[in-house]
Chain A
Amino acid sequence: MEVREVELPGIGMKFSFETEEGETLCVVIHKTGRREIYRFLPGQETPESVIELSDKEARELGAILIGTHFQPDAHDTARLVMKELTIEWLKVPKDSPLAGKSIQENKIRKLTGATIIAVLGPTKKILNPAPDTIIDSGDTVVVVGEQAQIQQFQERFGLR
Protein backbone atom coordinates (compact mmCIF):
# COMPACT_ATOMS: atom_id res chain seq x y z
CA MET A 1 0.00 0.00 0.00
CA GLU A 2 1.45 3.31 -1.03
CA VAL A 3 0.72 6.39 1.06
CA ARG A 4 1.18 9.68 -0.75
CA GLU A 5 2.39 12.49 1.43
CA VAL A 6 2.03 16.16 0.48
CA GLU A 7 2.85 19.26 2.46
CA LEU A 8 0.16 21.94 2.37
CA PRO A 9 1.88 25.16 3.44
CA GLY A 10 -0.26 27.19 5.81
CA ILE A 11 -2.57 24.23 6.38
CA GLY A 12 -0.62 21.13 7.38
CA MET A 13 0.03 17.74 5.81
CA LYS A 14 -2.07 15.56 3.53
CA PHE A 15 -1.81 11.78 3.38
CA SER A 16 -3.74 9.78 0.85
CA PHE A 17 -3.97 6.18 -0.27
CA GLU A 18 -6.24 3.94 -2.31
CA THR A 19 -8.16 1.18 -0.59
CA GLU A 20 -8.62 -2.31 -2.03
CA GLU A 21 -12.08 -1.28 -3.19
CA GLY A 22 -10.60 1.57 -5.22
CA GLU A 23 -11.78 4.35 -2.98
CA THR A 24 -9.33 7.07 -2.06
CA LEU A 25 -8.92 8.04 1.56
CA CYS A 26 -7.38 11.40 2.33
CA VAL A 27 -6.27 12.40 5.80
CA VAL A 28 -5.46 16.07 6.35
CA ILE A 29 -3.66 16.90 9.57
CA HIS A 30 -3.98 20.60 10.27
CA LYS A 31 -1.24 22.55 12.04
CA THR A 32 -3.81 23.21 14.73
CA GLY A 33 -4.12 19.48 15.39
CA ARG A 34 -7.50 19.14 13.75
CA ARG A 35 -7.88 16.10 11.48
CA GLU A 36 -10.11 15.61 8.48
CA ILE A 37 -10.73 12.31 6.75
CA TYR A 38 -12.08 12.57 3.22
CA ARG A 39 -13.50 9.60 1.35
CA PHE A 40 -13.57 9.75 -2.44
CA LEU A 41 -15.44 7.12 -4.47
CA PRO A 42 -13.50 5.67 -7.43
CA GLY A 43 -13.11 8.30 -10.15
CA GLN A 44 -14.88 10.98 -8.12
CA GLU A 45 -13.31 14.35 -7.56
CA THR A 46 -15.54 15.62 -4.78
CA PRO A 47 -15.57 13.73 -1.50
CA GLU A 48 -18.40 11.35 -0.70
CA SER A 49 -18.04 12.07 2.99
CA VAL A 50 -15.89 14.00 5.41
CA ILE A 51 -15.09 13.18 9.02
CA GLU A 52 -13.77 15.92 11.25
CA LEU A 53 -11.91 15.14 14.45
CA SER A 54 -10.11 17.06 17.15
CA ASP A 55 -6.57 16.07 18.04
CA LYS A 56 -7.77 14.05 21.02
CA GLU A 57 -10.55 12.30 19.12
CA ALA A 58 -8.16 11.46 16.29
CA ARG A 59 -5.69 9.82 18.66
CA GLU A 60 -8.45 7.83 20.31
CA LEU A 61 -9.77 6.72 16.92
CA GLY A 62 -6.23 5.84 15.89
CA ALA A 63 -5.81 3.67 18.98
CA ILE A 64 -9.09 1.91 18.25
CA LEU A 65 -8.18 1.31 14.62
CA ILE A 66 -4.78 -0.07 15.49
CA GLY A 67 -6.37 -2.59 17.85
CA THR A 68 -5.38 -1.30 21.27
CA HIS A 69 -8.68 -2.27 22.84
CA PHE A 70 -9.55 -5.32 20.78
CA GLN A 71 -7.29 -7.36 18.55
CA PRO A 72 -9.22 -9.24 15.90
CA ASP A 73 -8.25 -12.89 15.37
CA ALA A 74 -7.69 -12.18 11.72
CA HIS A 75 -4.06 -11.29 12.14
CA ASP A 76 -1.32 -12.28 14.49
CA THR A 77 1.07 -9.65 13.34
CA ALA A 78 0.62 -5.92 13.45
CA ARG A 79 2.84 -2.94 13.26
CA LEU A 80 2.80 0.54 14.69
CA VAL A 81 5.32 2.90 13.16
CA MET A 82 6.13 6.10 14.98
CA LYS A 83 8.74 8.70 14.20
CA GLU A 84 11.80 6.64 15.08
CA LEU A 85 10.35 3.67 16.87
CA THR A 86 8.36 0.75 15.60
CA ILE A 87 6.20 -1.48 17.73
CA GLU A 88 5.47 -4.84 16.20
CA TRP A 89 3.19 -7.68 17.22
CA LEU A 90 4.71 -10.98 16.06
CA LYS A 91 3.43 -14.50 16.35
CA VAL A 92 6.03 -17.07 17.44
CA PRO A 93 5.96 -20.17 15.17
CA LYS A 94 6.85 -23.66 16.39
CA ASP A 95 10.24 -23.71 14.70
CA SER A 96 11.38 -20.38 16.06
CA PRO A 97 14.42 -20.43 18.33
CA LEU A 98 12.39 -18.26 20.69
CA ALA A 99 9.88 -20.99 21.47
CA GLY A 100 10.30 -22.71 24.80
CA LYS A 101 13.14 -20.49 25.97
CA SER A 102 13.37 -17.46 28.21
CA ILE A 103 14.11 -13.97 26.94
CA GLN A 104 17.44 -14.04 28.71
CA GLU A 105 18.56 -17.30 27.11
CA ASN A 106 18.16 -15.87 23.65
CA LYS A 107 20.01 -12.60 24.50
CA ILE A 108 17.41 -10.81 22.44
CA ARG A 109 18.33 -7.22 23.28
CA LYS A 110 22.05 -7.85 23.15
CA LEU A 111 21.93 -9.54 19.75
CA THR A 112 19.32 -7.42 17.99
CA GLY A 113 18.78 -4.23 20.00
CA ALA A 114 15.03 -4.84 20.03
CA THR A 115 13.15 -5.09 23.30
CA ILE A 116 10.21 -7.31 24.13
CA ILE A 117 7.62 -5.27 25.98
CA ALA A 118 4.84 -7.85 26.21
CA VAL A 119 4.16 -11.54 25.72
CA LEU A 120 0.58 -12.39 24.84
CA GLY A 121 -0.82 -15.91 24.70
CA PRO A 122 -4.22 -17.57 24.75
CA THR A 123 -4.19 -17.62 28.54
CA LYS A 124 -1.52 -15.12 29.45
CA LYS A 125 -0.82 -11.43 29.13
CA ILE A 126 2.57 -10.49 30.49
CA LEU A 127 3.42 -6.79 30.26
CA ASN A 128 7.04 -5.77 30.71
CA PRO A 129 8.22 -9.40 31.01
CA ALA A 130 11.11 -10.30 33.30
CA PRO A 131 14.27 -11.72 31.65
CA ASP A 132 13.38 -15.24 32.76
CA THR A 133 9.93 -15.17 31.16
CA ILE A 134 9.50 -18.23 28.93
CA ILE A 135 8.05 -17.64 25.47
CA ASP A 136 5.96 -20.50 24.06
CA SER A 137 5.22 -21.24 20.44
CA GLY A 138 1.89 -19.71 19.49
CA ASP A 139 2.48 -16.69 21.72
CA THR A 140 2.48 -13.20 20.29
CA VAL A 141 5.43 -11.06 21.31
CA VAL A 142 5.17 -7.29 21.25
CA VAL A 143 8.55 -5.88 20.41
CA VAL A 144 9.77 -2.30 20.24
CA GLY A 145 12.83 -0.91 18.51
CA GLU A 146 14.13 0.92 15.49
CA GLN A 147 13.05 -0.44 12.14
CA ALA A 148 16.44 -2.11 11.53
CA GLN A 149 16.55 -3.68 14.98
CA ILE A 150 13.12 -5.19 14.56
CA GLN A 151 14.06 -6.52 11.17
CA GLN A 152 17.16 -8.15 12.64
CA PHE A 153 15.04 -9.63 15.41
CA GLN A 154 12.60 -11.12 12.91
CA GLU A 155 15.34 -12.64 10.78
CA ARG A 156 17.35 -14.09 13.62
CA PHE A 157 14.41 -15.74 15.33
CA GLY A 158 12.49 -16.81 12.26
CA LEU A 159 9.42 -14.63 12.77
CA ARG A 160 8.26 -14.02 9.25
Chain B
Amino acid sequence: MLFQLGLILLVLYVGALLAHRIKQSSVPVFILAGVGLQLFIVHSDVIGFLAQLGAMLLLFTIGLDFSPERIRRSGRTLLGATLVDVLINLPLGVVVGLALGFDLVGALILGGALYNNSTSLIARFLIDFKRTALPETEYAVGVSVLQDLITALYLAVIAGFLHSDGIGGLEILLVFVKAVGFFSGALLAAVVLRPVLQQLLAHESVEVFLFFVFAFVLVLAAIAEWLGVSAAIGAFFAGFILPEREFRERIDRVISPFRDLFAAIFFVSFGLLFDMTDIGRVLALSVLVIGVAIGGKLLTGWVIGRLGRLSRRAALRLGAALIPRGEFSILLAGLAAPTTPLLPLTIVTVFVLALVGPLLMKWAE
Protein backbone atom coordinates (compact mmCIF):
# COMPACT_ATOMS: atom_id res chain seq x y z
CA MET B 1 0.00 0.00 0.00
CA LEU B 2 2.81 2.33 0.91
CA PHE B 3 4.39 1.72 -2.44
CA GLN B 4 1.12 2.40 -4.24
CA LEU B 5 0.60 5.68 -2.43
CA GLY B 6 4.17 6.69 -3.12
CA LEU B 7 3.67 5.96 -6.79
CA ILE B 8 0.44 7.96 -6.86
CA LEU B 9 2.13 10.95 -5.27
CA LEU B 10 5.07 10.72 -7.63
CA VAL B 11 2.73 10.76 -10.62
CA LEU B 12 0.79 13.62 -9.02
CA TYR B 13 4.01 15.56 -8.69
CA VAL B 14 4.76 15.16 -12.39
CA GLY B 15 1.14 15.94 -13.26
CA ALA B 16 1.06 19.14 -11.18
CA LEU B 17 4.34 20.22 -12.73
CA LEU B 18 2.94 19.61 -16.18
CA ALA B 19 -0.36 21.38 -15.45
CA HIS B 20 1.57 24.38 -14.19
CA ARG B 21 3.77 24.42 -17.27
CA ILE B 22 0.92 24.24 -19.81
CA LYS B 23 -1.24 26.58 -17.69
CA GLN B 24 -4.06 24.09 -17.47
CA SER B 25 -6.28 23.19 -14.56
CA SER B 26 -4.77 20.34 -12.62
CA VAL B 27 -8.13 18.53 -12.36
CA PRO B 28 -8.14 16.90 -15.82
CA VAL B 29 -4.43 16.20 -15.51
CA PHE B 30 -4.95 14.35 -12.23
CA ILE B 31 -7.78 12.30 -13.68
CA LEU B 32 -5.58 11.42 -16.62
CA ALA B 33 -2.83 10.48 -14.17
CA GLY B 34 -5.27 8.10 -12.50
CA VAL B 35 -6.07 6.49 -15.85
CA GLY B 36 -2.37 5.98 -16.49
CA LEU B 37 -1.86 4.53 -13.00
CA GLN B 38 -4.29 1.73 -13.82
CA LEU B 39 -1.31 -0.03 -15.37
CA PHE B 40 0.37 -0.37 -11.98
CA ILE B 41 -2.22 -0.26 -9.23
CA VAL B 42 -5.83 -1.09 -8.61
CA HIS B 43 -8.33 1.02 -6.77
CA SER B 44 -8.60 -0.03 -3.13
CA ASP B 45 -10.62 0.84 -0.05
CA VAL B 46 -7.75 2.90 1.30
CA ILE B 47 -7.60 5.04 -1.83
CA GLY B 48 -11.38 5.29 -1.74
CA PHE B 49 -11.27 6.56 1.83
CA LEU B 50 -8.55 9.11 1.13
CA ALA B 51 -10.54 10.23 -1.91
CA GLN B 52 -13.64 10.70 0.23
CA LEU B 53 -11.61 12.80 2.64
CA GLY B 54 -10.48 14.85 -0.36
CA ALA B 55 -14.03 15.39 -1.56
CA MET B 56 -15.06 16.54 1.91
CA LEU B 57 -12.18 18.99 2.29
CA LEU B 58 -12.80 20.29 -1.23
CA LEU B 59 -16.42 21.01 -0.48
CA PHE B 60 -15.52 22.41 2.92
CA THR B 61 -13.34 25.08 1.33
CA ILE B 62 -15.99 25.79 -1.31
CA GLY B 63 -18.49 26.20 1.53
CA LEU B 64 -16.12 28.59 3.27
CA ASP B 65 -16.58 30.96 0.34
CA PHE B 66 -20.15 31.49 1.43
CA SER B 67 -21.71 33.12 4.36
CA PRO B 68 -25.20 34.46 4.84
CA GLU B 69 -23.77 38.00 4.65
CA ARG B 70 -22.03 37.33 1.40
CA ILE B 71 -25.18 36.05 -0.24
CA ARG B 72 -27.00 39.13 0.95
CA ARG B 73 -24.24 41.30 -0.47
CA SER B 74 -24.32 39.69 -3.89
CA GLY B 75 -27.28 41.82 -4.87
CA ARG B 76 -30.35 41.53 -6.98
CA THR B 77 -28.74 41.50 -10.43
CA LEU B 78 -26.57 38.54 -9.54
CA LEU B 79 -29.54 36.65 -8.09
CA GLY B 80 -31.44 37.32 -11.31
CA ALA B 81 -28.54 36.05 -13.37
CA THR B 82 -28.34 32.95 -11.19
CA LEU B 83 -32.02 32.32 -11.74
CA VAL B 84 -31.56 32.54 -15.53
CA ASP B 85 -28.64 30.14 -15.27
CA VAL B 86 -30.62 27.57 -13.24
CA LEU B 87 -33.74 27.81 -15.35
CA ILE B 88 -31.87 27.25 -18.61
CA ASN B 89 -29.24 24.68 -17.76
CA LEU B 90 -30.80 22.40 -15.16
CA PRO B 91 -33.95 21.54 -17.13
CA LEU B 92 -31.91 21.32 -20.33
CA GLY B 93 -29.62 18.70 -18.82
CA VAL B 94 -32.50 16.76 -17.29
CA VAL B 95 -34.43 16.69 -20.57
CA VAL B 96 -31.36 15.59 -22.51
CA GLY B 97 -30.70 12.93 -19.88
CA LEU B 98 -34.22 11.57 -20.16
CA ALA B 99 -34.03 11.66 -23.95
CA LEU B 100 -30.82 9.65 -23.81
CA GLY B 101 -32.63 6.98 -21.83
CA PHE B 102 -31.34 7.59 -18.30
CA ASP B 103 -33.74 7.09 -15.42
CA LEU B 104 -35.00 10.12 -13.52
CA VAL B 105 -32.17 10.16 -10.96
CA GLY B 106 -29.62 9.77 -13.75
CA ALA B 107 -31.19 12.62 -15.69
CA LEU B 108 -31.24 14.80 -12.59
CA ILE B 109 -27.55 14.07 -12.05
CA LEU B 110 -26.75 15.00 -15.64
CA GLY B 111 -28.72 18.23 -15.24
CA GLY B 112 -26.72 19.18 -12.16
CA ALA B 113 -23.43 18.21 -13.75
CA LEU B 114 -24.12 20.38 -16.80
CA TYR B 115 -25.41 23.27 -14.69
CA ASN B 116 -22.44 23.66 -12.36
CA ASN B 117 -19.38 25.56 -13.53
CA SER B 118 -15.95 25.31 -12.05
CA THR B 119 -15.34 28.59 -10.25
CA SER B 120 -11.60 28.00 -10.04
CA LEU B 121 -11.27 27.21 -13.76
CA ILE B 122 -13.36 30.24 -14.75
CA ALA B 123 -11.32 32.53 -12.51
CA ARG B 124 -8.09 31.14 -13.89
CA PHE B 125 -9.12 31.58 -17.53
CA LEU B 126 -10.43 35.11 -16.93
CA ILE B 127 -7.15 36.07 -15.29
CA ASP B 128 -5.15 34.54 -18.14
CA PHE B 129 -7.23 36.36 -20.74
CA LYS B 130 -6.93 39.68 -18.84
CA ARG B 131 -10.65 40.06 -18.54
CA THR B 132 -10.87 40.67 -14.84
CA ALA B 133 -11.95 44.29 -15.25
CA LEU B 134 -14.54 43.72 -17.97
CA PRO B 135 -18.20 44.13 -17.04
CA GLU B 136 -19.20 40.51 -17.76
CA THR B 137 -16.59 39.12 -15.38
CA GLU B 138 -18.60 40.20 -12.35
CA TYR B 139 -21.43 38.06 -13.64
CA ALA B 140 -19.28 35.09 -14.60
CA VAL B 141 -17.56 34.63 -11.25
CA GLY B 142 -20.56 35.75 -9.21
CA VAL B 143 -22.92 33.32 -10.89
CA SER B 144 -20.48 30.44 -10.67
CA VAL B 145 -20.06 30.93 -6.93
CA LEU B 146 -23.81 30.99 -6.29
CA GLN B 147 -24.10 27.83 -8.42
CA ASP B 148 -22.07 25.95 -5.85
CA LEU B 149 -24.57 26.73 -3.12
CA ILE B 150 -27.49 25.65 -5.28
CA THR B 151 -25.66 22.55 -6.46
CA ALA B 152 -24.84 21.61 -2.87
CA LEU B 153 -28.53 21.63 -1.99
CA TYR B 154 -29.31 19.79 -5.19
CA LEU B 155 -26.68 17.17 -4.44
CA ALA B 156 -28.16 16.67 -0.99
CA VAL B 157 -31.55 15.95 -2.50
CA ILE B 158 -30.12 13.53 -5.07
CA ALA B 159 -28.07 11.72 -2.43
CA GLY B 160 -31.31 11.37 -0.51
CA PHE B 161 -33.02 9.79 -3.51
CA LEU B 162 -30.25 7.26 -3.85
CA HIS B 163 -30.69 6.27 -0.22
CA SER B 164 -34.42 5.82 -0.43
CA ASP B 165 -35.87 2.82 -2.21
CA GLY B 166 -37.80 4.49 -4.97
CA ILE B 167 -39.06 7.78 -6.11
CA GLY B 168 -42.61 7.90 -4.88
CA GLY B 169 -44.42 10.99 -3.68
CA LEU B 170 -43.65 10.16 -0.05
CA GLU B 171 -39.95 9.55 -0.66
CA ILE B 172 -39.55 12.83 -2.52
CA LEU B 173 -41.19 14.63 0.35
CA LEU B 174 -39.03 12.87 2.93
CA VAL B 175 -35.81 13.55 1.06
CA PHE B 176 -36.74 17.15 0.63
CA VAL B 177 -37.62 17.57 4.29
CA LYS B 178 -34.30 16.01 5.31
CA ALA B 179 -32.23 18.18 2.97
CA VAL B 180 -34.07 21.36 3.89
CA GLY B 181 -33.96 20.34 7.56
CA PHE B 182 -30.23 19.86 7.45
CA PHE B 183 -29.77 23.11 5.56
CA SER B 184 -31.90 25.21 7.87
CA GLY B 185 -30.40 23.50 10.90
CA ALA B 186 -26.95 24.42 9.64
CA LEU B 187 -28.06 27.97 8.93
CA LEU B 188 -29.64 28.35 12.34
CA ALA B 189 -26.52 26.95 13.95
CA ALA B 190 -24.50 29.44 11.93
CA VAL B 191 -26.39 32.35 13.42
CA VAL B 192 -26.70 31.02 16.98
CA LEU B 193 -23.22 29.55 17.30
CA ARG B 194 -21.35 32.32 15.55
CA PRO B 195 -20.07 34.09 18.69
CA VAL B 196 -19.06 30.76 20.27
CA LEU B 197 -17.33 29.54 17.12
CA GLN B 198 -15.56 32.84 16.80
CA GLN B 199 -14.14 32.45 20.28
CA LEU B 200 -13.11 28.83 19.79
CA LEU B 201 -11.41 29.60 16.48
CA ALA B 202 -9.47 32.49 17.92
CA HIS B 203 -7.20 30.18 19.91
CA GLU B 204 -3.59 31.12 19.34
CA SER B 205 -2.26 27.56 19.01
CA VAL B 206 -2.23 26.28 15.44
CA GLU B 207 -2.54 22.74 16.75
CA VAL B 208 -5.72 23.48 18.67
CA PHE B 209 -7.10 25.33 15.69
CA LEU B 210 -6.30 22.48 13.29
CA PHE B 211 -7.97 19.82 15.44
CA PHE B 212 -11.00 21.97 16.03
CA VAL B 213 -11.57 22.63 12.33
CA PHE B 214 -11.05 19.01 11.33
CA ALA B 215 -13.27 17.69 14.10
CA PHE B 216 -15.93 20.20 13.15
CA VAL B 217 -15.86 19.17 9.48
CA LEU B 218 -15.85 15.45 10.15
CA VAL B 219 -18.60 15.53 12.77
CA LEU B 220 -20.91 17.53 10.51
CA ALA B 221 -20.07 15.24 7.58
CA ALA B 222 -20.91 12.22 9.72
CA ILE B 223 -24.23 13.74 10.80
CA ALA B 224 -25.08 14.50 7.18
CA GLU B 225 -24.22 10.97 6.08
CA TRP B 226 -26.30 9.53 8.89
CA LEU B 227 -29.23 11.64 7.69
CA GLY B 228 -28.62 10.37 4.19
CA VAL B 229 -27.68 13.73 2.68
CA SER B 230 -24.07 12.80 1.76
CA ALA B 231 -20.96 13.45 3.81
CA ALA B 232 -19.60 15.91 1.26
CA ILE B 233 -22.62 18.15 1.79
CA GLY B 234 -22.08 18.02 5.53
CA ALA B 235 -18.57 19.26 4.95
CA PHE B 236 -19.88 21.98 2.64
CA PHE B 237 -22.18 23.29 5.33
CA ALA B 238 -19.42 23.06 7.90
CA GLY B 239 -17.62 25.61 5.73
CA PHE B 240 -20.80 27.60 5.35
CA ILE B 241 -21.29 27.87 9.11
CA LEU B 242 -17.76 28.87 10.08
CA PRO B 243 -17.40 32.61 10.45
CA GLU B 244 -15.40 33.19 7.33
CA ARG B 245 -14.26 36.77 7.42
CA GLU B 246 -11.80 36.76 10.28
CA PHE B 247 -10.57 33.21 9.89
CA ARG B 248 -10.63 32.61 6.20
CA GLU B 249 -6.98 33.26 5.81
CA ARG B 250 -5.99 31.11 8.76
CA ILE B 251 -8.20 28.21 7.71
CA ASP B 252 -6.83 28.52 4.22
CA ARG B 253 -3.27 28.39 5.45
CA VAL B 254 -3.84 25.43 7.75
CA ILE B 255 -6.34 23.35 5.78
CA SER B 256 -5.49 23.97 2.15
CA PRO B 257 -2.36 21.77 2.08
CA PHE B 258 -4.50 18.84 3.27
CA ARG B 259 -7.20 19.82 0.81
CA ASP B 260 -4.80 19.93 -2.12
CA LEU B 261 -3.28 16.58 -1.20
CA PHE B 262 -6.47 14.61 -0.63
CA ALA B 263 -8.45 16.33 -3.40
CA ALA B 264 -5.73 15.27 -5.83
CA ILE B 265 -6.20 11.67 -4.67
CA PHE B 266 -9.92 12.18 -5.11
CA PHE B 267 -9.40 13.02 -8.78
CA VAL B 268 -6.86 10.23 -9.24
CA SER B 269 -9.37 7.75 -7.87
CA PHE B 270 -11.79 8.75 -10.64
CA GLY B 271 -9.06 8.06 -13.14
CA LEU B 272 -8.36 4.72 -11.53
CA LEU B 273 -12.00 3.75 -11.73
CA PHE B 274 -12.30 4.97 -15.29
CA ASP B 275 -12.81 2.02 -17.59
CA MET B 276 -11.04 2.70 -20.88
CA THR B 277 -13.55 0.53 -22.73
CA ASP B 278 -16.18 3.03 -21.57
CA ILE B 279 -14.79 5.63 -23.92
CA GLY B 280 -16.15 3.76 -26.88
CA ARG B 281 -19.46 3.43 -25.11
CA VAL B 282 -19.80 7.11 -24.29
CA LEU B 283 -18.12 8.68 -27.31
CA ALA B 284 -21.28 9.31 -29.32
CA LEU B 285 -23.14 10.34 -26.16
CA SER B 286 -20.43 12.72 -25.10
CA VAL B 287 -20.35 14.55 -28.44
CA LEU B 288 -24.02 15.30 -27.96
CA VAL B 289 -23.69 16.19 -24.28
CA ILE B 290 -20.71 18.46 -24.91
CA GLY B 291 -22.70 20.24 -27.60
CA VAL B 292 -25.59 20.74 -25.19
CA ALA B 293 -23.21 21.87 -22.44
CA ILE B 294 -21.71 24.54 -24.68
CA GLY B 295 -24.99 25.63 -26.25
CA GLY B 296 -26.74 25.95 -22.89
CA LYS B 297 -24.11 28.22 -21.43
CA LEU B 298 -23.78 30.36 -24.56
CA LEU B 299 -27.52 30.92 -24.39
CA THR B 300 -27.28 31.64 -20.65
CA GLY B 301 -24.55 34.21 -21.20
CA TRP B 302 -26.53 35.81 -23.97
CA VAL B 303 -29.72 36.12 -21.90
CA ILE B 304 -27.92 37.37 -18.77
CA GLY B 305 -25.85 39.78 -20.84
CA ARG B 306 -28.78 41.26 -22.69
CA LEU B 307 -30.85 41.55 -19.50
CA GLY B 308 -27.91 43.23 -17.81
CA ARG B 309 -27.54 45.70 -20.71
CA LEU B 310 -24.15 44.39 -21.74
CA SER B 311 -23.11 44.69 -25.36
CA ARG B 312 -23.62 41.74 -27.71
CA ARG B 313 -19.94 41.06 -27.65
CA ALA B 314 -19.80 41.03 -23.84
CA ALA B 315 -22.84 38.75 -23.70
CA LEU B 316 -21.09 36.34 -26.04
CA ARG B 317 -17.92 36.49 -23.99
CA LEU B 318 -19.93 35.82 -20.83
CA GLY B 319 -21.40 32.67 -22.37
CA ALA B 320 -17.99 31.46 -23.46
CA ALA B 321 -16.56 32.15 -20.01
CA LEU B 322 -19.24 29.94 -18.44
CA ILE B 323 -18.27 26.82 -20.39
CA PRO B 324 -15.76 25.07 -18.09
CA ARG B 325 -17.27 22.49 -15.72
CA GLY B 326 -15.34 20.90 -12.93
CA GLU B 327 -15.09 19.11 -9.64
CA PHE B 328 -18.73 19.45 -8.62
CA SER B 329 -19.93 17.85 -11.85
CA ILE B 330 -17.64 14.87 -11.31
CA LEU B 331 -18.72 14.59 -7.70
CA LEU B 332 -22.36 14.54 -8.76
CA ALA B 333 -21.73 11.96 -11.47
CA GLY B 334 -19.89 9.84 -8.91
CA LEU B 335 -23.24 9.33 -7.19
CA ALA B 336 -24.74 7.68 -10.26
CA ALA B 337 -25.24 3.93 -10.35
CA PRO B 338 -22.11 2.22 -11.76
CA THR B 339 -24.27 0.50 -14.37
CA THR B 340 -24.98 3.81 -16.09
CA PRO B 341 -22.27 5.47 -18.17
CA LEU B 342 -22.84 8.80 -16.41
CA LEU B 343 -19.48 8.99 -14.66
CA PRO B 344 -17.29 8.30 -17.71
CA LEU B 345 -19.57 10.55 -19.74
CA THR B 346 -19.13 13.41 -17.27
CA ILE B 347 -15.39 12.90 -16.98
CA VAL B 348 -14.98 13.05 -20.76
CA THR B 349 -17.24 16.11 -20.90
CA VAL B 350 -15.37 17.97 -18.16
CA PHE B 351 -12.11 17.07 -19.79
CA VAL B 352 -13.07 18.28 -23.26
CA LEU B 353 -14.74 21.44 -21.96
CA ALA B 354 -11.63 22.39 -20.00
CA LEU B 355 -9.74 22.33 -23.29
CA VAL B 356 -12.47 23.84 -25.49
CA GLY B 357 -13.44 26.58 -23.00
CA PRO B 358 -10.35 28.76 -23.53
CA LEU B 359 -10.56 28.29 -27.31
CA LEU B 360 -14.15 29.52 -27.33
CA MET B 361 -13.20 32.43 -25.07
CA LYS B 362 -10.62 33.48 -27.62
CA TRP B 363 -13.15 33.07 -30.41
CA ALA B 364 -15.68 35.26 -28.59
CA GLU B 365 -13.20 38.10 -28.35
B137 within 8 A of A: yes
A10 within 8 A of B: yes
Question: Is A45's CB under 8 angstroms from B127's CB?
Answer: no
How does the 8 Å CB contact mask read for B105-138 relative to A, with 1 for contact and 0 for none?
Answer: 0000000000000011011001100101111011
Interchain nearest-CB distance for A13 vs B (Å): 10
Among B6-64, those with CB < 8 Å from A are none
Set B130, B138, B145: member contacting A14, Cβ < 8 A = B138
Set A8, A11, A45: member contacting B311, Cβ < 8 A = A45
Among B137-167, those with CB < 8 Å from A are 137-138, 141-142, 144-145
How does the 8 Å CB contact mask read for A101-123 relative to B, with 1 for contact and 0 for none?
Answer: 00000000000000000000000
Question: Is B133's CB under 8 angstroms from A16's CB?
Answer: yes
Set B73, B120, B130, B141: member contacting A50, Cβ < 8 A = B130
Question: Is B130's CB under 8 angstroms from A30's CB?
Answer: no
B299 within 8 A of A: no
Q: Which residues of A contact B135 (CB under 8 A)?
A: 45
Question: Is B145's CB under 8 angstroms from A10's CB?
Answer: yes
Set A10, A45, A47: member contacting B141, Cβ < 8 A = A10
Among A1-56, those with CB < 8 Å from B are 6-12, 14, 16, 26, 28, 30, 36, 38, 45-47, 50
Question: Is B119's CB under 8 angstroms from A10's CB?
Answer: yes
Question: Is B138's CB under 8 angstroms from A30's CB?
Answer: no
Chain B contact surface mostly: helix
- Interface size class on chain B is 20 to 34
B313 within 8 A of A: yes
Set B127, B142, B311: member contacting A9, Cβ < 8 A = B142
Number of residues from A at the complex interface, CB < 8 A: 18
Q: Among A11, A30, A45, find the residue whose CB has the most chain B CB atoms closer than 10 A.
A: A11
Question: Is A45's CB under 8 angstroms from B133's CB?
Answer: no
B65 within 8 A of A: yes
Question: Is A45's CB under 8 angstroms from B134's CB?
Answer: yes
Q: How far is the CA of A26 from the CA of B65 in the complex (A)?
A: 24
Question: Is A8's CB under 8 angstroms from B137's CB?
Answer: yes
- Contact status of A45 and B119, CB under 8 A, knowing A9-B145, A11-B127, A11-B132: no
Set A7, A28, A46: member contacting B132, Cβ < 8 A = A28
B316 within 8 A of A: no
Q: Which residues of B contact A47 (CB under 8 A)?
A: 133-134
Q: How far is the CA of A30 from the CA of B313 in the complex (A)?
A: 25
Question: Is A36's CB under 8 angstroms from B145's CB?
Answer: no
Question: Is A14's CB under 8 angstroms from B142's CB?
Answer: no
Q: Which residues of A contact B142 (CB under 8 A)?
A: 8-9
B314 within 8 A of A: yes
Interchain nearest-CB distance for A37 vs B (Å): 9
Q: Which residues of B contact A11 (CB under 8 A)?
A: 123, 126-127, 132, 137, 141
Interchain nearest-CB distance for A44 vs B (Å): 10
Q: How far is the CA of A45 from the CA of B134 in the complex (A)?
A: 7
Interchain nearest-CB distance for B79 vs A (Å): 15
- Contact status of A10 and B133, CB under 8 A, knowing A30-B127, A45-B311: no
Q: How far is the CA of A44 from the CA of B14 in the complex (A)?
A: 44
Q: Which residues of A contact B127 (CB under 8 A)?
A: 11, 30
Q: How far is the CA of A6 from the CA of B65 in the complex (A)?
A: 15
- Contact status of A10 and B311, CB under 8 A, knowing A30-B127, A38-B133, A45-B135: no
- Contact status of A9 and B141, CB under 8 A, knowing A36-B132, A38-B133: yes
Question: Is A8's CB under 8 angstroms from B141's CB?
Answer: yes
- Chain A: CB-nearest residue to B314: A45
- Contact status of A7 and B73, CB under 8 A, knowing A28-B132, A36-B132: yes
Question: Is B311's CB under 8 angstroms from A14's CB?
Answer: no
Q: How far is the CA of A30 from the CA of B142 in the complex (A)?
A: 16
Question: Is B141's CB under 8 angstroms from A26's CB?
Answer: no
Q: Which residues of A contact B134 (CB under 8 A)?
A: 45-47
Chain A residues with a Cβ under 8 A of chain B: 6-12, 14, 16, 26, 28, 30, 36, 38, 45-47, 50
User: 10 tightest CB-CB pairs across the interface, nearest first?
Assistant: A10-B123, A26-B133, A38-B133, A9-B145, A28-B132, A9-B141, A11-B123, A10-B119, A8-B141, A28-B133
Chain B residues with a Cβ under 8 A of chain A: 65, 73, 119-120, 122-123, 126-127, 130, 132-135, 137-138, 141-142, 144-145, 311, 313-314
